[in-house]
Amino acid sequence: MSVTAARGFTASGVSAGIKDSGAPDLALVVNRGPSYAAAAVFTSNRVQAAPVRWSRRVIGDGALAAVVLNSGGANACTGPAGEDDARAMAERTARALRVEAEQVAVCSTGLIGVPLPMGRVTAGIDAAAAELSEDGGEAAAIAIKTTDSVHKTAVASGSGPDSGPRSGSGPGWTVGGMAKGAGMLAPGLATMLVVLTTDADVSAPTLDSALRQAVRTTFDRVDSDGCMSTNDTVLLLASGASGVRPDPAEFAEAVHGVCLDLALRLVADAEGASKEIEVRVVGAASEQDAVTVGRSIARNNLLKCALHGEDPNWGRVLSAIGTTSAVFDPDRLDVSINGVRVCRDGAAGEPRDKVDLSGRAVTVTVDLRSGDASATIWTNDLTAAYVHENSAYSS
């Protein structure tokens, strides 16, 4: 049920005509309370879309009543008119829901530099408001897709401050979420729109802490193609409808679990990809070193091409490591690909032909042998299909 798995939320997704295809392209997620606490993380790109600027402002007081989202147009680099359009989306949503515009976040995704067809957008908002329901989470998740081949949802639950995880319905609290993203996936968040909801009774500062912790080791470690978007937004809204105030650590773990689930779904759906690559860096002198090395490997196009061709070319891994400032001894590096240690002490290890790359999952493990820190980065291979899709994206 996605974002409506948590009590106190309704959602909807409709076809507003923003996309020429007629596919669903506008969604609402509404918090019915009694609490309206919220937190958010946005792109770190200095070029930011009008909806990001609007949502940054309204989240300042740590409260939201609703989110309006559209696909089919990013409303980015659209000048003062784009700022007016983002505000108009919030105001139209607020009018339909009888809330204040400053309680409405706005998210948009699609082609940069093209104005939204606001007549269709505002009519779509009214239609979406009329279709809100507790079963509308799936429709909302479908409506925010762009090049996504599938919609992406996840759910986690807990029982209370002194209880372990639960499953099914009944007393307790839930975290639900939906995400879109298939291209421009890189830190600073990936080209993603993510809405998370919970019926736990959680304050805005606790939401903010849990969300930032989760994003740091999930969405911020997805690095599909090294390209950072202008529209990335991750929102977490709490209705408090369960009446349960969970242990902060348990709640943070649930938020992390939902974020990780959604982040891996983004990688699995990356445009044109045929391999899902997990880069594990261990034995680092610091977590930052591990992340830096992992990113360098994940962004190495020669390695991504090799893995697409099912060639376990570990030399390209070492080459990527060598471009970083991380602490390591080149003569003590170990590299394993799908469990086979193909590089030992910076030189050839087991024969490459032992590595099975016939499946979709690939794990590259690097041991820097310089400390106890570690990190994981998720990426994918570089394919002709990826090049084709992105060469024709705006046509």
- DSSP line for 247-312: -HHHHHHHHHHHHHHHHHHHHHT-TT-S-EEEEEEEEESSHHHHHHHHHHHHT-HHHHHHHHTT--
Bridge partner list, 337: 340, 364
pLDDT at 189 over 50: no
Evaluate the CA torsion angle 12, 17, 21, 26 in order and state its sign. negative
Determine whether 191 is an active site residue.
Answer: yes
Alpha-helical segments (H) within the chain: 50-58, 79-97, 118-130, 137-143, 204-216, 248-268, 287-298, 301-308, 314-321, 384-391
If one counts the domains in the chain, the total is: 2
Distance of CA 118 to the CA centre of its chain: 27
Please, what is the end-to-end C-alpha distance for the chain in angstroms? 34
Does one domain contain both 178 and 309?
no
CATH number where 230 lies: 3.60.70.12
Mean pLDDT along residues 268-288: 91
**Domain end point (choices 230, 251, 268):** 268
Per-residue model confidence as pLDDT tens digits over 34-79: 999 999 999 888 889 999 999 999 999 999 999 999 999 999 999 9
3-state secondary structure of 343: strand
Residues in the chain: 395
Per-residue model confidence as pLDDT tens digits over 197-214: 999 999 999 999 999 999
The answer to whether the beta carbons of residues 151 and 177 sit under 8 Å apart is: no
Backbone φ and ψ of 319, nearest 5°: -60, -40
Does one domain contain both 81 and 218?
yes
**Domain end point (choices 211, 240, 268):** 268
| Active-site residue (options: 4, 109, 146, 191) | 191
State residue 164's pLDDT score.
38
**Domain end point (choices 268, 290, 310):** 268
Residues spanned by the domain of 370: 276-391
Evaluate the CA torsion angle 284, 288, 292, 298 in order and state its sign. positive
